[in-house]
Structure 1
Amino acid sequence: MQKLPEMVMQSGCRDEAPTKEVLKTISWSQRKLKRPHSNELLSLQMLINEKKGSDNEVLQRVMMHPKGIMMWSKKTLSVFYKRCKEDIVYLDATGSIIQKGSSTSPPYYVYELVVRNPSKGASPLPVATYLTCDHTTASVTYFLQAFQTDMIKLYGKKAVKRPIMIICDGSLVLLNSISFTFCKLSLEDLLQKYFEVITGQYQAEHFDLPILHRCLSHIMKNAKDLCKKHMQRHYKLGMHTFGLLACSTNLKQMDEVLLSATVVFCSPCSGDNVAKHYNNLVVLMQQVGKLEFEEENIAAEDYKNDVGTTALESHFQQVIERAPLDLDGEDNNYHAPAFIARLAKYFLPHATLWVLV
């Protein structure tokens, strides 16, 4: 940089400037000189100790093995406490921000706890950030519980059962971590609670747990993958069937959709039952209209996440088994039993997390 003519520096001309990579190296070298210690993690820990107790303290935890840092402040704790009691909280994870150091090093993920901005049209507000290469339920749970502990220190035990609703993608790591931290239940027990509520076994007015919800855009992205693989000839019909399930407002509606879909897609032959239930699906689709969802820039997770055996899975299996299949007549053009089988195994067991029930 010192070799550049003064006029070039003042004009900002890039023609005689070093390459972008060289400039990045220079910038990194200058920042490195300002560190309190040559070791990055020790330097971060020293910064934490230096700012400890101040209102501007952002760095909260530094982990050596596996490497990771946690960031939030008293101000973001305050924002979270105020917003989460009346609006939705999001837990998101992305691995595209930080590049891997080498082909053998584990990828770094950034986990962020985000609340919506009260100002319409304004950007969401990240209230806590976790950068780590450890993508396990234990790791993410530690992050969320550390954040929750600091919030309880500020606001007392009344902060334990916040927020009212949390949305995340379909990652089992996130689902389990949220359930453990904010609901104080395992994911299996939480799904059982939800089942008891929608079946009337548990009074909804006494239900005081946060609502865990899977992002519908991620679900529909997973649905596209499933339909493309097992419903190629009738892709749109499969997607509309998913839409009907997602728009159901009670268990009875879901049963009706699933029963008709089972008859249409599992009957080896085409008869009166297939015609009747196909028409029923068409009528339901016309009533619901087009399902709008945002899926741009969303990378679908592997939909083959097994949440274990749930009461909801057993309930829907009974619905599938009592479907009146057509066994005589011409071949069924809509025959796709694998679609229903995978729907029942990978989506319906945790349907209370992504439908409107």
Structure 2
Amino acid sequence: MVSLQPEILGSSPANGEIRARPFRGSCRQEIQKYTKLGATPGAVRRQKLQSMSVENKEAGNRNVVGRSPSVLRKTASEANVNLRRDADLEKSLHCIKAEQAEKIFPGESIPGYLQEISVDPLRLICFTAGGIVMYHQNASTMPLSWDATGGIVVNRGKRVYYYELSMPNLSKGGPSLSVTAMLSTSHGTVDIIHWMNCFIEKYKMVYGFAKPFPKPPVIHSDRALVFLLAGIQLFNGDETMNLYIERCWRIIQGRASQQDLQVTVVHACLGHLMKNVKTNAAKDLTKKQIPFGMWLMALLVNSNTLDEMLYMPTAPIWSNLLLGNFSSRYGYGFDTTTTSCSCHFGRTTGVSESQMRVLKENILCNKVYSRIDQVVAKLGESIEAMEIQYADHYVLNQTKTRLLPVPMGISSYMISLLSQCVRVQSMLRSVHNRITLTFMYA
């Protein structure tokens, strides 16, 4: 004869036992929704423990949080695993590329986000048709910035770096835009040149091979030699470092040719420079002398006369001597200089630094992923939203204070201006169409 001893639901468990059923699919998806937004499994567990009823706490019922913290950690990790399309990395990358081509600008000549896959060395080149359009419209009059960062993929021998070419917003204070990006385990100048040559090739496919590739007036970097060399070769016609310095010297002496004045200024971040100056000064100077040494360097960096420049043999690379308008600074004719925008005069890599922070905090949610295909899948999910945000900020900034009632006696010019703003507002309603962003800057 079998004796049954039923236990009343909600009673205290024997010996402090904790019980929990396995998570259902809907419950796992809800938890993963929070972890995808950056919440840690521990934070989710604490929040759910706080919301438990007194009866469940006393009964040891942990159905909403799992039997142990490892249950939530495992559930959160499943979301990252789902970013893979195949156990084989190469197959997974090709599947991701095909999926993105169907979702991101599918009607354009350059669809998708992941554009080129190289297995040995491992290198992924990413950009969209929207990035090409933005570059075409604005690169020749806006300073660009590029930078690299690690710590987004688990290091298994060869470290994966994320490289990005960024463009500031057309309106001050707006979000910057990732024009093109590269994930690579190889970090030489040749790799950066190959990355940009791929972008140039796709640009030519869109706008024609006869059209010259736009050159930015200034490109900022963090003083890494690979960026300096790559910038000189890509934007100044395969120029060497020595030839570039000679060209810069002719400009500041006032005897440059018209071709010399078309140079792209390869500018090294002033913040990184002063940081290195402080590090080196600490080796030879006392603590009280370091500020004085940095002040002397700041005087040199901000020199304006040729006599002052003579004390700076590497000035054309890292100082601000070539920033600004050549016409007003060195007396060249206005018809021989490159026109650049008047709203961006930065001397640091602030645009790239902010983009890297957005990448790690907002897109990748401060996580380190186990495989590179997971990272490129996350980037592809957010790139279109980032481009729309970039475009929306400009349109909103241009229209938010101008749509006012027309007063009596207003000039025909103001009426025309207000009508243009109304047309821009109608553009905003259709900006989410994934066809092209060209109409915003036509």
Question: How would you bin the TM-score normalised by the shorter chain?
Answer: 0.5 to 0.7
Question: Using the alignment, how far apart are the partners of 1:203 and 1:143 within structure 2?
Answer: 31
Question: Using the alignment, how far apart are the partners of 2:146 and 2:93 within structure 1?
Answer: 25
The partner residue of 1:75 within 130, 152, 163 is 130
Residue 188 of structure 1, CA deviation: 2.4
Structure 2 counterpart of 1:4: 23
Describe the superposition over 1:58-87 as per-residue Cα deviations: whole angstroms up to 9, x where unpaired: 111111011121100111011112221221
> Any conservation in 2 of the 1:61–1:70 contact (CA below 8 Å)?
yes
Aligned length: 260
Question: Using the alignment, how far apart are the partners of 1:5 and 1:24 within structure 2?
Answer: 14
1:62–1:250 distance in 2 versus 1, CA, 3 Å: farther
Question: What are the within-5 Å matches in structure 2 for residues 31-42 of structure 1?
Answer: 31-32=83-84, 35=85, 37-42=86-91
> Any conservation in 2 of the 1:197–1:204 contact (CA below 8 Å)?
no
Residue 133 of structure 1, CA deviation: 1.0
- 1:44 and 2:93 matched: yes
Query: What SS class does the counterpart of residue 70 from structure 1 fall into?
Result: strand
Structure 2 counterpart of 1:352: 316
> Any conservation in 1 of the 2:140–2:214 contact (CA below 8 Å)?
no
Moved more, 7-16 or 87-96: 7-16
Question: Using the alignment, how far apart are the partners of 1:143 and 1:183 within structure 2?
Answer: 17
Structure 1 counterpart of 2:203: 151
- 1:217 and 2:271 matched: yes
The partner residue of 1:119 within 162, 166, 171 is 171
- 1:139 and 2:191 matched: yes
> Any conservation in 1 of the 2:193–2:230 contact (CA below 8 Å)?
yes
Question: What are the within-5 Å matches in structure 2 for residues 169-248 of structure 1?
Answer: 169-184=222-237, 185-203=239-257, 207-232=261-286, 233-248=288-303
TM-score by length of 1: 0.65
1:166–1:70 distance in 2 versus 1, CA, 3 Å: same
Residue 171 of structure 1, CA deviation: 0.6
Question: Using the alignment, how far apart are the partners of 2:165 and 2:141 within structure 1?
Answer: 16
Describe the superposition over 1:208-261 as per-residue Cα deviations: whole angstroms up to 9, x where unpaired: 121111111111111111111122251111100110011112432233xx4xxx
The partner residue of 1:84 within 131, 139, 150 is 139
1:197–1:2 distance in 2 versus 1, CA, 3 Å: farther
Residue 47 of structure 1, CA deviation: 4.1
1:11–1:90 distance in 2 versus 1, CA, 3 Å: closer
Query: What SS class does the counterpart of residue 60 from structure 1 fall into?
Result: strand
Query: What SS class does the counterpart of residue 181 from structure 2 fall into?
Result: strand
> Any conservation in 2 of the 1:61–1:69 contact (CA below 8 Å)?
yes
Residue 110 of structure 1, CA deviation: 0.6
Question: Using the alignment, how far apart are the partners of 2:197 and 2:27 within structure 1?
Answer: 52
Query: What SS class does the counterpart of residue 97 from structure 1 fall into?
Result: coil
Structure 2 counterpart of 1:327: none
Query: What SS class does the counterpart of residue 174 from structure 2 fall into?
Result: coil
Describe the superposition over 1:265-305 as per-residue Cα deviations: whole angstroms up to 9, x where unpaired: xxxxxxxxxxxxxxxxxxxxxxxxxxxxxxxxxxxxxxxxx
Question: Percent of pairs identical after alignment?
Answer: 23
The partner residue of 1:23 within 52, 55, 75 is 75
1:204–1:225 distance in 2 versus 1, CA, 3 Å: farther
Question: Using the alignment, how far apart are the partners of 1:7 and 1:135 within structure 2?
Answer: 43
Question: What are the within-5 Å matches in structure 2 for residues 196-345 of structure 1?
Answer: 196-203=250-257, 207-232=261-286, 233-255=288-310, 258=311
> Any conservation in 2 of the 1:250–1:356 contact (CA below 8 Å)?
no
1:43–1:212 distance in 2 versus 1, CA, 3 Å: same
Residue 7 of structure 1, CA deviation: 11
TM-score by length of 2: 0.54
The partner residue of 1:62 within 117, 121, 126 is 117
1:149–1:252 distance in 2 versus 1, CA, 3 Å: farther
Query: What SS class does the counterpart of residue 83 from structure 2 fall into?
Result: helix
Bigger relative contact order (CA 8 A; separation at least 6): 2
Q: CA RMSD in A?
A: 2.8
Segments of 5+ residues of structure 1 without an aligned counterpart are 259-347
1:8–1:85 distance in 2 versus 1, CA, 3 Å: closer
